[in-house]
Structure formats: structure tokens, C-alpha cells
Amino acid sequence: MRICIINTGGTITSLGDPLAPMPPADFAQAMRDLIEPAIRATIPGVTLHVDDSLRFPGSENGTLDSSGLVPRDWCRMARHLLRLQDDHDGFVILHGTDTMDYSGAALSMLLGDWDADGIATAALSKPVILTGSQVPIFRQTADGLFLNALSDALGNVAGAIRAATLRIPEVGLFFDGRLLRGNRALKVSSNDFAAFGSPHLPPLARGGIDIRRDALALPGPACPERALDPDRAIARLDRIESRIEAQQIVLLPAIPAGMPVLARMIDDALERGATGLIIEAFGEGNLPEGDGTLKAALSRAAQASVPVVLTSRAIGGAVGTLHYAAGTWITATGAILGGDITAVAALAKLTILQAAGLRGDALATAMRRALAGECRAADRFGATLAPGQSLQAADCDAELVNDPVTGPVLRRTGQVIWQAPGPGTLRLTDRLRLLSHDGRILWEGPHSAPGTIALLDAGGLRLVDPSGVADTITALPC
């Protein structure tokens, strides 16, 4: 397996006191001399290429301290990967830890494309894994350059390479023995070797004596025609990069200091040209209405066509149905409920989707949908919808709830559209039937093809073939 190691900079590449990044060519040679022989001896079948050609403008030696990273740099990394894609089977990106979670989220959005239903029309077929370290990988002494025996770097690099051999086709982040989905990761410590967490998704894989898969990974391209093509992806990237600097997304926290403070921050952001707002709300998305000042500020954002995305300030929090009176007024402002997406991933996703040209309802729908696994796919299910599970449409207020007592029920605007005659599991494996209250068959779908999914949106409950081989079948209009 041919694995390319790309150096962007960060602590892992640094030396000295204070730490400063090594020249890229020197670092690449040290990797070849001190690291590559051990990797070849330890992980059979792997051929490494240490690439030192990526450069970031404005940097003294071309590498990047990740604290200085800006959205255009996400595009530079993605372009470099796309240019090298055909020559390698997998990629390991060495990156600073400060904004590694932002890059993981952004690359997942840049290295793919999706249709209006959120189905991948261009999906990664090769692993792209970011890693780094809390301590530099090398140490300079009077006797020369040595491997730093006290660093976590070698374990992270070797672990990322070994994780790449699993050929999981998505952007990952490897740290402290765990492969996390890149757009689900958050930096949680600046001191511990376990620097990253993934509050809503278990690790994709764990390293130990062996490396083993844990959570379900993204499936990759549904057919060869839907695999990421470098030329088409670069053309899309050109359009995004030309507009990405115009996107000014502002992240604002809700704090217990009175809502006029947050309202003033929103108004200030709008006056200064913000093109989108991410608000870290309390709990499941609560923001006290107070005297209406905050509601008015959010409404002004909507009138200015500036999207507002609500995420939770709780590391394990999710914004969905607002159960408390303190938050129920929010949906009337047009704010987008972000589900379990992190604020980091929401900022990267909103920046890139706006740069790609999405606006209005299309943008709001795409933000609610899981495009690259960055949030729970609330509007679709695969083979079964079990009792207790539910779907929420991304583009309207329809919901399909499989109530454990009464059975599946489809509602829109609070009205029952369809009710199953009793409890049970809704299945795609046989024929999907939707029944009226008296048991009359309202709709009966065909046998589903392998990989078919059920999608709930304004068109109703539909069967969709992600491979694009068969046309979408409309099941039951809402």
C-alpha cells in the first residue's frame, strides 16, 4: 500500500526553545532516515512517500502553525491532496493540534460533493488521516538529531499509517491510539496525549496489539461513477476557493450575562459584514427570550439573509426538538437547529457550503443533513426503523416517529398524515407498506435494492438508490 505523508507543520515538526518548525526538506529527510526504516520493518506491505512540497504563503519556511490557519488554507491542503490522489492509496497529514479539528471537518466537505438529497455524487475512496503530537518527534542535541523518546509523535504517526491500511474511505483524525472521524473530533486537552475526543461518535478504529474497527465508517462511493474524481473535484474547489475569503462566519457563545449582551454581539457581527452566525446555545439549544431583544436580533439576521446555526455549548450536547419554553420561540426566527454537529464542524461546513454557492432554503437543508457523517442523519434510515426511532425531515416540519406503543406515525405541522395499525418495526427488506388507521394500504413500495435508503423530506417518505442506477421512487407525499 502506497501511503503519502504530507507535512503542513505544527508541533510534531518543530525543534528548539522556543519551538520552531524545521525546514520542510530537512524534516522530510529526517523522516526518511529515522522513521521510515522502522515503519517498513513494523508494518509490512507499506511503502511511504514523505512529501515536502506543500507551501503556505506568508510562512517563513512554507509550513503552517495551525493557530494561524485560515479557510483558504483548507483549500490549499485539499488541492494538494487531489493532485497527489492518483499516485497513492492513502494519505497521512501532519498537522498542528490547535486547529486540527477544523481542518478535519473542512477537508471532509472539500473532498466530496452531494446532490440535493444529500447523497454523495463524489465520495472519497481512499483514507485521509490527520495526526500530530503534543511533543516534537525529533530532538536536536550536540551529537545530532535523534528521535524524541518522550514524545507521543511516533505512536501517532505509526498508528495513523496502520489505520490507513484499513482503507476506511473518509477523513479521519488519529491520536493516542484512536482513529476518530475528522468532522466529529474536538480538541479537549493541550496537555494530555489524549488531546482529542469525539462526543457523538465512537472511534472508527482503536489501536492496540492489533488495530480494530469500532464504529461504522462511511461507505465510500456507491458505484465507481460516484468516486471522487480529482479533475472534477479541483474544478469545484476552484469555485469554492475563489469565494471562501468572502465568507465571514462568526461563532458566538451564549453566556449567563443577560440576553442583551448576545443580542449586541449579533448586531455587531451583522454590522461588520458577517455572512453567517454559529451560536453555541445552552443544553439542547435553549436561549432565554427575555424581553425579546435576542429574538429581534435573530430576526434581523434572517431579514439580512444571514443564516444562524444553533449548536450546543455542551461537549456532548445536541440541538433538536426544543422541549423547554425558554427555547421554543427560537424556531420562529428561522434559526437552523444543528443537531449533534459540533460548533467547529458547523463553522467549517457553513463556510464551505456558502462558498460553494448555496443560499436560503437549500443552504438550510444542507446544513441539517449529514453529508459526510458530521452529524446524525436524522432524515433517513437504511434497513429498519425500530420502535423508539424517528426521522425528521431536513427541509420541512414533517416527522416519522416509530412509537413503541402505537406504532409508526407520520406527522406534518402537528397533523397525522398516516398512522400504522399497530406497533412494529418499519422495514425496507420486504415491501415497505404505509397503512391508514383502518388498515387500508395507502402505499406499497417495491422490493428495495441493496443499499436503498428511505428519505423523509417535503416530498414524503421516498426510497432512494444512492448508486443512481434507479430513479427515486416517491412513496407517500406529505
317-336 per-position pLDDT tens digit: 899 766 555 567 888 899 99
Sign of the CA dihedral running 392, 397, 402, 408? negative
With bands split at pLDDT 50, 70 and 90, how would you rate the model's confidence at 363? very high
CATH number (1.10.12, 2.90.10, 2.40.30, 2.60.40) of 380-476 reads 2.90.10
Percent of the chain with pLDDT over 90: 72
Q: How large is the average pLDDT for residues 72-101? A: 98
User: What cell does 200 get?
Assistant: 457523538
pLDDT band at 309 (very low <50, low <70, confident <90, very high): very high
Average pLDDT rounded to a whole number, residues 282-302: 89
* Grid cell digits, residue 304: 439580512
- Predicted local confidence at residue 81, as pLDDT: 98
Provide the pLDDT for residue 350: 98
| Fold entry, domain 2-241 | Rossmann fold (3.40.50)
Mean pLDDT of 282-306: 90
pLDDT above 70 (res 421)? yes
Q: Report the CATH fold assignment for 246-368.
A: Rossmann fold (3.40.50)
The residue among 435 and 5 whose pLDDT is bigger is 5
The neighbour count for residue 412, using CB atoms within 10 Å, is 18
The 10s digit of each residue's pLDDT in 203-256 is 999 999 889 998 889 999 999 999 999 999 999 999 999 999 999 999 999 988
Domain span(s) for CATH 3.40.50.40 in the chain: 246-368
> Using N-to-C axis directions, what is the helix angle for 100-110 and 343-355, rounded to 10°?
40
- Provide the percentage of residues in the chain whose pLDDT is more than 70: 91
- Say which residue the cell 415491501 belongs to: 431
Grid cell for residue 250: 462568526
pTM for the predicted model, two decimal places: 0.94
Q: Average pLDDT for residues 292-318, to the nearest whole number?
A: 94
In the chain, CATH 3.40.50.1170 covers 2-241
- Of 314 and 440, the structure prediction assigns the larger pLDDT to 314
Tell me what the pLDDT averaged over the chain comes to: 91
Range(s) for CATH 2.90.10 in the chain? Answer: 380-476
pLDDT for residue 476 = 66
| Residue whose cell numbers read 489524549 | 194
What pLDDT, on a 0 to 100 scale, did the predictor assign at position 478?
65
